[in-house]
Chain A
Amino acid sequence: MTILELRDLHVTYKSDRGDVPAVRGVDLAIAAGETVGLAGESGCGKSTIAGAVLRLLPRDTIVGGQVLLNGDDVYELKPGRLRAVRWTAAAIVFQGALHSLNPVRRVGEQIEEAIVLHSDRGDAGTHAVRDRITGLLERVGLRPDLARSYPHQMSGGQRQRVLIALALACEPDLLIADEPTTALDVMVQAQVLELLAELQRDRGLALLFITHDLSVLSTTCDRLAVMYAGRVVEEGRTVDLLKTPQHPYTRALARAFPTIGDPRSRMNPSGLGGDPPDPTHLPSGCPFHPRCDMAIEACATADVLLRPIRPDRAAACVHVAVSA
């Protein structure tokens, strides 16, 4: 069953410098029990998509296309219904747990607030709600008595777990994790990733995993979509996509994460020259062509959209042969 579907999503921010087209036509679908990774550099539009799904973007932002959550168009919802959809249909775990939690309230109270405001699971202070908080904390591997702690009394890993507990408070069908482990240490990152995988197995959650770290996505996701300049430039099954990247950008991104033990990357770090494009001044033609080592003359003028290569695989590059 499809939980989330983006249809030709466009997001344009308003700024002093004019319109900033952050997302320029993205189609994406996530089924129940599926993990989809959204990869790309800073500014490619991946976090904007997270905000767009739950209408968390600035009020004057122009959103085009459709965001369907369990079949409902999120942008057609009445305010009351929207509030119900947030947290119960989809919830977000952000990076930087310290900023997402209220520093002057105990974490238990913050989880309670989410339960009381967004679901019909009982009123504040009742046993039902307290049991639910205990259950949530245990679910994410925290001691229930930590409910009485303030965020600053916890470690980074514990706070990230609290955010996951919060996101699960109303049993959403979709969890959006935006760089959930970027601020964490390797060992704690492994713990959080394991937790997310477990939750997904047990609850059949649909998971949209957003990060610049392709190596994290490689171990967690069924499918990957790689974004560049507001568009998906390649998508496919994770293993397939990482083993045989078709778009030159995916290839460069994959090479940037060395496999320890691989002689090709030993004493040979690999990056990608140049900077991500400024969304207000996108290059002509294929937006990647100024940084592309395979660019030909046509790339400077002809924009290439995502094209299917074979079932479950598509890329937006002039060098890619289109499937019949």
Chain B
Amino acid sequence: MFESEIVIGLEVHAELDTNTKLFCSCPREGNDKRNSRVCPICLGHPGSKPVMNKKVLDYGLRFGLAIGCNIAKSLVFSRKSYFYPDMAKNYQITQFEIPLCSNGIIKLSSGKKIKINRAHIEEDPAALTHPAGINDSAYVLVDYNRSGNPLIEIVTEPDMTSPNEARDFMKELIKILNYLEIFDTDSCIIKADANISIRESGYKRVEVKNITGFKEIERALMYEVERQKQAVSEGAEILMETRSWDAAKGITCSLRLKESEEDYGYITDPDLVPIDVSDELIETIKKNMPELHHAKLDKYKKNISEEDAKVISSNHKLAAIYDEVCEEIDPVFAGRWIRRELMRVMNYNKIEFEDLKIKPSHLIDLFKLIIEGSITDSVGQKIMEKLVEEPFDVNEYVNSNSLKTISDNSELKKICKQVINENPQAAEELKAGNTKSLNFMVGQVMRITKGKADAKKLVEIFKSIF
């Protein structure tokens, strides 16, 4: 059945960026005092009843439509029964028989298509702390602030063939979720369970749980592949089991033997009623859907190089900045400066987009000054460097530091003559027509003027002197 050496399928749980929880009006984030963003519903108090958050349906539909899924005609919830200390009701309200979305595709940057079996909506359990580690705690501590948060569960087919590919998938998925504005990396959790098997063991499936974020997924799966390969080479049997990823120790540990599916005894939740997913609703969602990165890429390619377009469209915060800047600045100029200068400075200072404090307005002010010639490119680059560290009012800064371009010919001529006098050797070579010397002389003037001299004019002035 399988051809590749490694077979990986993922089950991803992403928290949706709503104001309130899935079935109650408790705020989804905010007050982080333990057990204070709770109510009888998310605490599972006897007699409390769930009421569905409309926004979650909208977000679920956005995702399904964005990845080309079939959409169910009706949103129906089931009770999945199991007992665990993080469960408010000892059943989870989730979707069983008919998920909201099914049969979609997510394309990796390599072009490979990963099939999405289903995406459905469910509630998050509470947050558990094991004071002495999961295996050694006599009791657990539970905080129900998280209980009832809205999750979208995305299940792939076992289409990935390496830990690397799994990581790429997660990156791509997070990108889509960000672009659709249904997920906020700052405030929403994303976790994955992976099913992984290797050819050497006859594709005995092991589940690895508790992997948070796309960076961990490659680590966890690389470890697991090695562990399984090693076990096989030692003649040990690979048990079909559930293991937990311990990020701190960098290992997976056995949780329980996966003999058979736990009997969840699903029933349709009789406290909830079906929600129609009408064609009108789908049309409305489609119309109001934020642009995905593919669409942005196509749009940008019209003005800037494909490579630059790819870079800018690949990060939705950056794309958002670019889009807003392009409302007032020529896209070609903006593209060059954002792709080359802004990102150069960010990379140099190892600043991530999540931590970037620059606003589009800062860039618009800066670019306007450069375009109209009020400051030189060189000054502009220096200002960019400072902006990335800590944003400030660009116009004020330029004025109070006298950074405007020096374009007065007589003044420039004075400085050029000064440089010629200080560098007789180079001046001779320049007279002889050496372009390197010209650049050198221009560079000296720039050094003296702290980059404020109009470079084009300098070239002319030097040429005219000789």
Bound pair (A, B): no
Chain B interfacial positions (CB closer than 8 Å to A): none
